[in-house]
Structure 1
């Protein structure tokens, strides 16, 4: 059977429609007809749409093409007449409102008025962790190497399956979890889950995949374009100009494997440990990372799952000297921006750890203090706030400690960056950086000076 599409008509597969006779036709006419359909539907029940959707096109021979075109032409002419009647009736309708220059489009856009939005009764949020992690949101857990990231991820999976709390965060309802490990073997997962002592009733709600062949591949494509034009005043000399276009593509490999596992397991949460091994692309390229995350987001929307990505800190990082601890995460910042919940572990003195948590849609818990107890049923536990000596040793460098102690020793005085610079013999940038770090760690209060004003530099708590 030959090509039944009318010659000279640009055909697109995005708008298939079927004619009253049962033939399927798609193309620019379908787009135009869809707009007429929307206008007719809004005008009243007497206007109907003569096409049914979807139908499978019957087998046609070549002579049937002319009858198909005739039928299509008749149908669209009928819609044109209906559309004209709609416009005439609306123009004749009495109105007391001031005429608007805005002409509404017959094509639905999905825009909602504020009145309709506020009148909508929304269901309460469905939480994975109460007041922290909502269903459909994505989560990134980042930490330096060898501090127990995987233990934390396994503990989160266990808490979701059992309904037990995780570091004080309540699990309202038990969930099904798919744990994808790209580094730990099945033997290692067997050993760790055995130590976690997962109850029998929760074991069917946790599924693992540790074959290491599932990847999210991303790459960048650079296209070069060149145009040739004649120089003004010299028709024999051509001038060439060029430009390039760069874009990223990403896909899951093997294709369909992740989606099939989600369907088979009924997973509501997918944990990827770690992201660095699962993502096969340039971690420092925001375009590649963003495109890969769009692939995950699409899977999340289609299957109603939330992703938790376990991520490494950059080498030599640790978040000590950054205003935002989450900046310690390795690679492009797009990964952290994508997540609605961010948890960042930072080393402190001894076996103490600081856990900084920020959320997009709920009040952020801020900083928690935790300790790692590897090999126990609850490896990560809340700890008491660290002592002054621990903080000064681990998270405050020597100069920052000196600045914080100077502020405490001179409590009640009107301190400024200039006075600290004179007293301590450092430049202004170093003083401001040390004040910022000491303020972040809770040892002093530092509010930079507004325009034409003085900064606020005061002690806070005990002297470090």
Structure 2
């Protein structure tokens, strides 16, 4: 890949924000502008939306949550996203605008982070000044306010298209609970401040709540206070697909039309699009699980009784001790073959069932 001169992704947005004393990284209410302007003036000062970084999902100066259960692959997902933005390539079908990325990681040990980034973005070895920077903070106990101050002093407005914060819980100040709505609102005010000053889109990695997620809406998936979902501009989640080995990527956005769900597959070291309908796995209730177990037991009993034989329902009742309705349901599930045969002793015909050849024996 040849080296190219990169044009900063952020245009007037970062410059405007960096010159304003109204931006406060800690969310202090004293920093709220007091000026009231006319609608015409307001429109004139903000004539267009901010530039998309990931078209259809995320703009400069916005925040995004990436939500999934622990160890599903959230970090692999955002590392793939970072690579696509850094190279200007599509990310899971979404066009990106090329720009520099900062990964702030407090989750992985430095050596593990190196291995992952080398796997996800091998281009770094052939491109001078590959546009991904890293701030490794595992074990440093840096909270979000300290991070904001560091970025305030070290990052020039417009330098980064995306800043990844992995993971949210690692940056909570001492005594801050992610279940506290007011506290988490202050955290996101801080993240908005970082986005406002740098002009970058902020991508926050966060874990889902415990337990089955299939019956929840996407905005209810994240662990902790409801303000975590409400405060962000894009809420993106990896959810279980009905087909094993696949996942469904869902998102809700503030500044784009609702994106379609897509099916994705983790093909080491990256998440890739999968050509399957994005069907979410359904929740199994205790009753469903019990019925599935009973059906399996019935199928096994019928399969054993019919091994190499053709039997009637009456004979199957004697062999298995099950009732006729349960037997007939199992015969249907097993796709048995039926034929009316004459009983040698009575001369009467009765329906006999046998297993298909692939199940027999």
1:271-310 matches, cutoff 5 A: 271-280=164-173, 281-310=176-205
* Alignment check: 8 A CA contact 2:53 2:161 kept: no
2:128 and 2:49 map into 1 onto residues whose CA distance is 26
For these two proteins, the number of residue pairs brought into alignment is: 252
Q: Hey, what does 2:114 align to over in structure 1?
A: 190
Higher strand share: 1
1:340 and 1:400 map into 2 onto residues whose CA distance is 39
1:168 and 1:265 map into 2 onto residues whose CA distance is 26
Gap regions ≥5 residues in structure 1: 1-13, 15-107, 218-250, 403-464
1:118-137 matches, cutoff 5 A: 122-123=47-48, 125-137=50-62
Q: Hey, what does 1:216 align to over in structure 2?
A: 143
Compute the TM-score of the two structures, normalised by the length of structure 2.
0.63
Using the TM superposition, give the Cα deviation of residue 341 of structure 1 relative to its aligned residue in structure 2, in angstroms: 0.9
* Equivalent residue for 1:384, pick from 275, 280, 303: 275
* Equivalent residue for 1:397, pick from 276, 284, 302: 284
Q: Hey, what does 1:326 align to over in structure 2?
A: 219
Describe the shift of the 1:365–1:354 C-alpha distance in structure 2 as closer, same or farther (beyond 3 A). same
* Alignment check: 8 A CA contact 1:352 1:386 kept: no
Using the TM superposition, give the Cα deviation of residue 306 of structure 1 relative to its aligned residue in structure 2, in angstroms: 2.1
Describe the shift of the 1:282–1:118 C-alpha distance in structure 2 as closer, same or farther (beyond 3 A). closer
1:160 and 1:266 map into 2 onto residues whose CA distance is 13
* Alignment check: 8 A CA contact 1:127 1:133 kept: yes
Describe the shift of the 1:196–1:118 C-alpha distance in structure 2 as closer, same or farther (beyond 3 A). closer
Q: Hey, what does 1:5 align to over in structure 2?
A: none
* Alignment check: 8 A CA contact 1:275 1:311 kept: yes
Pairing 1:262–2:140 present: no
2:203 and 2:47 map into 1 onto residues whose CA distance is 26
Q: Describe the SS at the equivalent of 2:187.
A: helix
Q: Hey, what does 2:83 align to over in structure 1?
A: 158
2:156 and 2:44 map into 1 onto residues whose CA distance is 35
1:441-456 matches, cutoff 5 A: none
1:389-431 Cα distance to aligned partner (Å, 9 max, x none)? x86xx324369999xxxxxxxxxxxxxxxxxxxxxxxxxxxxx
Q: Hey, what does 1:448 align to over in structure 2?
A: none
Describe the shift of the 1:201–1:401 C-alpha distance in structure 2 as closer, same or farther (beyond 3 A). farther
Segment of structure 1 superposing worse, 332-341 or 108-117: 108-117
Pairing 1:205–2:131 present: yes
Using the TM superposition, give the Cα deviation of residue 308 of structure 1 relative to its aligned residue in structure 2, in angstroms: 0.6
1:145-174 Cα distance to aligned partner (Å, 9 max, x none)? 1111000010111111100110111013x1
1:117-137 Cα distance to aligned partner (Å, 9 max, x none)? 556782454110113211111
Q: Describe the SS at the equivalent of 2:156.
A: helix
Compute the TM-score of the two structures, normalised by the length of structure 1.
0.49
Q: Hey, what does 2:16 align to over in structure 1?
A: none
* Alignment check: 8 A CA contact 2:178 2:224 kept: yes
Q: Describe the SS at the equivalent of 1:263.
A: coil
1:360 and 1:306 map into 2 onto residues whose CA distance is 14
1:138 and 1:151 map into 2 onto residues whose CA distance is 19
1:327-373 Cα distance to aligned partner (Å, 9 max, x none)? 11101111111111111111123111011111001101131111111
Pairing 1:355–2:249 present: yes
Describe the shift of the 1:145–1:137 C-alpha distance in structure 2 as closer, same or farther (beyond 3 A). same
Pairing 1:143–2:93 present: no
Using the TM superposition, give the Cα deviation of residue 203 of structure 1 relative to its aligned residue in structure 2, in angstroms: 5.1
Pairing 1:365–2:291 present: no
* Equivalent residue for 2:104, pick from 141, 155, 180: 180
1:193 and 1:158 map into 2 onto residues whose CA distance is 9
2:236 and 2:46 map into 1 onto residues whose CA distance is 32
Describe the shift of the 1:400–1:124 C-alpha distance in structure 2 as closer, same or farther (beyond 3 A). farther
1:136 and 1:399 map into 2 onto residues whose CA distance is 45
- RMSD of Structure 2 on Structure 1 (CA): 3.0
1:421-432 matches, cutoff 5 A: none
* Alignment check: 8 A CA contact 2:90 2:96 kept: yes
Describe the shift of the 1:135–1:401 C-alpha distance in structure 2 as closer, same or farther (beyond 3 A). farther
Gap regions ≥5 residues in structure 2: 1-20, 22-32, 290-361
* Alignment check: 8 A CA contact 1:180 1:208 kept: yes
1:13-42 Cα distance to aligned partner (Å, 9 max, x none)? x9xxxxxxxxxxxxxxxxxxxxxxxxxxxx
